[in-house]
Chain A
Amino acid sequence: MMRTKRRAFVAGLSATAVLTGNRVAFGQKKYDEGASDTEIKIGHTCPYSGPASAYGVIGKTIQAYWKSVNEAGGINGRKINFISLDDGYNPAKTVECIRQLVEQDKVLCTFNTLGTPTNTAIHKYMNQKKVPQLYVATGASKWGDPKHFPWTMGFQPDYHTEAVIYAKYILANIKDAKIGVLMQNDDYGKDYWEGMKEGLGKEVGRVVKHVTYEVTDPTVDSQIIQLKDSGANVFFNIATPKFAAQAMRKAGAIGWKPAQFLNNVSVSVASVMKPAGFDNVQGVITAAYLMDPTDKQWEGHPEMKMWKDWMTQHNPGASLSDASNVFAYAVSFLMQETLKRCGNDLTRANLMHQAASHHHLRVPLLLPGITVSTSATDYFPVQAVQLQRFKSETWELFGDVMHAESS
């Protein structure tokens, strides 16, 4: 087991600390493909077209981030050459794009490639080629498996663990819970669903109804009617923003008033809670790890202010109410820190080593009290969440920050 580096760098929170970085001790220069004295090449894929194109904003904001890093002098004097390709959320296309990035463009690593099926398609390849597949943008639990896939690392708290937390909360706090589940019928939905079942354990019989929807469904009205009819008094909502909002609005419209649990994917106030109607979402509970830019409680927070300044200056035209932009900023910051710590040893092995050596690193825009820690056996950078409840027009945190250890 590797020991955490003691030379831990205390992350400054001011914008200057984010954008300049010449403080790491320099060792001997060592490079792998994709790194040189002047530049570091990073690859990325994400759906800019097709039905999943809403995620394209993440890619655009990451591009803006590296541009701003380069304008401020780069990392340890090296510019970031960030190559982002459109895979349309099609796994076959992802393989083609990633092979281009690795073999043709010869990137040092890939970063924040988006989607569960897409990352699954390149998982084996990246590990065979021994190219770091860092901080992937998906919450499946399989990305933290250093034993079998030492070159792949996730970022956000995994869906599975999140669902376990809801299940435990339901068992502890709701008497005679009868649970109804709405689930998007794909990989992401399935991960939550498995987590819920595991969290309930012997009490799994409490799920009285489990319904699914397809992303091509125009509405989920029919599913909500089925859930109401089942007599459920707890509603676990595993849906992406549009469908999550539809579901909560429909529940309100037909007079179904269960205790609601909403997955973290859809916590945005502007694009979920408000469209669903504030009347319909009072008391909804979710687990969060990032600040929501449309949530009033963060308005005066220095990190949020810094982010907003950065957005207006470097990413004009992008939406200040889209939580994806917060996500993109936070994960890029972590990547920048990781590269910074590599110093002059820009080999793939060292990059992975540094990625697995974070020690309570504060990444801006994570909820207060949440930090990033990794080790050679712990490939889950962000693992803590805090429950929050919706009240009037904003989320209200309650309880402690929970450090859920995934199996």
Chain B
Amino acid sequence: MAQFLEQFASGLANGAIYACVALALVMIYVSTDHLNFAQGEMAMFSTYISWQLMNWGLSFWVAFAGAVVISFVMGVLIERVILRPLHHAPILSVVVVFIGLLAIFNSMAGAIWSYLIKEYPSPFPKSSFGIAGVIGPHQLGVVLVTLVVLGLLFGFFRFTPLGLAMRAAAQNPQMARLVGVRVDWMLALGWGLAAAVGAVAGIMVAHIVYLDPNMMGGILLYAFASALIGGIGNPAGAVVGGFIVGVLENMVAYTGNQIEKLTGVYIIGNGEKLTVALIIVIFVLTLKPAGLFGRVVVRRV
């Protein structure tokens, strides 16, 4: 039972990581209708920027704010400079450009900051809160930050004119243009916001998995699954999806363990936990093809 609780809590903590990165993915999907493969590497790059700022003597929160602002600008620039000329290119071509960006960010980070793993500080007080042994203060902090970001995004898209304009621009560019939305800039803004959310995610994750140029490789895979199971256009869904994937994965390993303990036969374990978790995710998706919280879009013929 103790193990069950620990596994559950550890799953939630991992889930918070996935949720954070999934939010950035959803962000860009909501505002540009693309799935950005380079999102993880961009978040990693932003985290390095914050690390660099701290290395120059700034405090954690100043560096945090600095990195978020710089990432926002970086996101806008990427859209204006690199993706702008490709607005009319086929979607798969855009995907290839994302892969190109992934390669560039990854190798540049390695060239500038080396591939050695770096410690990354946690802004949260050491074990003054948190349930000792089950979930640490940083993990709780990540959950909190994720929920705050989610709240901010929700409010932004729901209640501000800018947020509404961005959604309109992504869903129906022509109509949006007709009512006076500057669609081009909305796309750039979407990229900026996604990069900023990514920076927050990276900074939260780095303390847990350590900072290195490949830190997002594995996480992005999980974040994709999380974003999709929750319904790709739905920020709250992505967060729930993250927790589901995190917990599910640990439960698979746990169940495998219990089975082995009871029967002495190895059926599933850590090697298969991702596979089994994904199979379950896909099974769910075949039952609810638009994700758990996605809305089914009725297509006009």
The answer to whether A and B touch directly, with their CB atoms under 8 angstroms apart, is yes
Q: Which residue of B lies closest to A321 (CB)?
A: B116
Beta-carbon contact of A242 and B212 below 8 Å: yes
Q: Number of contacting residues on B, CB 8 A?
A: 45
Beta-carbon contact of A218 and B10 below 8 Å: no
Q: Roughly how many angstroms separate A321 CA and B115 CA in the complex, as a whole number? A: 12
Q: Roughly how many angstroms separate A318 CA and B112 CA in the complex, as a whole number? A: 10
Q: Roughly how many angstroms separate A281 CA and B24 CA in the complex, as a whole number? A: 35
Beta-carbon contact of B117 and A254 below 8 Å: no
Beta-carbon contact of A271 and B6 below 8 Å: no
Beta-carbon contact of B6 and A254 below 8 Å: yes
Query: Interface segment, A98-106, A195-203, A221-229, A357-365?
Result: A221-229
**A349 contacts chain B at the CB level, 8 A cutoff:** no
Scan residues 187-215 of chain B and give those whose CB is less than 8 A from a CB of chain A.
205, 208-210, 212-214
Beta-carbon contact of B7 and A225 below 8 Å: yes
Q: Roughly how many angstroms separate A226 CA and B255 CA in the complex, as a whole number? A: 11
Known contacts A215-B218, A242-B210; A271 and B116 CB within 8 A of each other: yes
Q: Which residues of B contact A318 (CB under 8 A)?
A: 114
CB distance from A271 to the nearest CB of B (A): 5
Q: Which residues of B contact A216 (CB under 8 A)?
A: 217-218, 221, 274
Beta-carbon contact of B218 and A212 below 8 Å: no
Q: Roughly how many angstroms separate A270 CA and B208 CA in the complex, as a whole number? A: 17
CB distance from A183 to the nearest CB of B (A): 10
Q: Roughly how many angstroms separate A213 CA and B272 CA in the complex, as a whole number? A: 10
Q: Roughly how many angstroms separate A321 CA and B118 CA in the complex, as a whole number? A: 11
Known contacts A219-B14, A275-B119; A53 and B114 CB within 8 A of each other: no
CB distance from A281 to the nearest CB of B (A): 13
Scan residues 232-266 of chain B and give those whose CB is less than 8 A from a CB of chain A.
249-250, 253-254, 257
Beta-carbon contact of B213 and A241 below 8 Å: no
Beta-carbon contact of B117 and A245 below 8 Å: yes
Q: Roughly how many angstroms separate A99 CA and B11 CA in the complex, as a whole number? A: 46
**A255 contacts chain B at the CB level, 8 A cutoff:** yes
Scan residues 88-127 of chain B and give those whose CB is less than 8 A from a CB of chain A.
103, 106-107, 110, 114-119
Beta-carbon contact of A54 and B115 below 8 Å: yes
- Can you spell out 5 A-B residue pairs with CB atoms less than 8 angstroms apart? A53-B106, A212-B270, A218-B219, A229-B6, A242-B212
Beta-carbon contact of B257 and A242 below 8 Å: no
Which of A185, A213, A242, A245 has the most B CB atoms < 10 Å from its CB?
A: A242
**B67 contacts chain A at the CB level, 8 A cutoff:** no
CB distance from A213 to the nearest CB of B (A): 6
Interface of B is mostly: helix
Q: Which residues of B contact A152 (CB under 8 A)?
A: none
Total A-B contacts with CB atoms under 8 angstroms apart:
107
Q: Roughly how many angstroms separate A255 CA and B133 CA in the complex, as a whole number? A: 7
**B3 contacts chain A at the CB level, 8 A cutoff:** yes
For the complex of A and B, 9 pairs with smallest distance between CB atoms: A54-B115, A216-B218, A229-B3, A221-B10, A275-B119, A225-B6, A222-B250, A218-B219, A319-B114
**A211 contacts chain B at the CB level, 8 A cutoff:** yes
Q: Which residue of A lies closest to B110 (CB)?
A: A53
Q: Roughly how many angstroms separate A318 CA and B107 CA in the complex, as a whole number? A: 15
**B25 contacts chain A at the CB level, 8 A cutoff:** no
Which of B17, B106, B210, B214 has the most A CB atoms < 10 Å from its CB?
A: B210
**A141 contacts chain B at the CB level, 8 A cutoff:** no
Beta-carbon contact of A322 and B114 below 8 Å: yes
Q: Which residues of B contact A226 (CB under 8 A)?
A: 3, 7, 253-254, 257, 270
Q: Which residue of A lies closest to B119 (CB)?
A: A275
Beta-carbon contact of B209 and A214 below 8 Å: no
**B57 contacts chain A at the CB level, 8 A cutoff:** no
Scan residues 176-221 of chain A and give those whose CB is less than 8 A from a CB of chain B.
185, 211-219, 221
Q: Roughly how many angstroms separate A221 CA and B132 CA in the complex, as a whole number? A: 15
Beta-carbon contact of B119 and A241 below 8 Å: no
Scan residues 239-254 of chain A and give those whose CB is less than 8 A from a CB of chain B.
241-242, 245-246, 253-254
Which of A213, A218, A255 has the most B CB atoms < 10 Å from its CB?
A: A218
Mask for A62-89, Cβ within 8 A of B = 1, else 0?
0000000000000000000000000000
Beta-carbon contact of A275 and B117 below 8 Å: yes
CB distance from A98 to the nearest CB of B (A): 23
**B28 contacts chain A at the CB level, 8 A cutoff:** no
Q: Which residues of A contact B114 (CB under 8 A)?
A: 57, 318-319, 322
Beta-carbon contact of A319 and B210 below 8 Å: no
**B222 contacts chain A at the CB level, 8 A cutoff:** yes
**A274 contacts chain B at the CB level, 8 A cutoff:** yes
Q: Which residue of B lies closest to A217 (CB)?
A: B218
Mask for A260-287, Cβ within 8 A of B = 1, else 0?
0000000000110011000000000000
Known contacts A49-B107, A51-B214; A319 and B270 CB within 8 A of each other: no
Q: Roughly how many angstroms separate A219 CA and B7 CA in the complex, as a whole number? A: 13
Beta-carbon contact of B210 and A229 below 8 Å: no
Q: Roughly how many angstroms separate A297 CA and B273 CA in the complex, as a whole number? A: 42
**B2 contacts chain A at the CB level, 8 A cutoff:** yes
Q: Roughly how many angstroms separate A57 CA and B115 CA in the complex, as a whole number? A: 8
**A56 contacts chain B at the CB level, 8 A cutoff:** yes
CB distance from B101 to the nearest CB of A (A): 14
Known contacts A218-B14, A226-B253, A241-B117; A53 and B210 CB within 8 A of each other: no
Known contacts A211-B270, A212-B269, A212-B271; A221 and B110 CB within 8 A of each other: no
Beta-carbon contact of A222 and B11 below 8 Å: yes
Q: Roughly how many angstroms separate A275 CA and B14 CA in the complex, as a whole number? A: 19
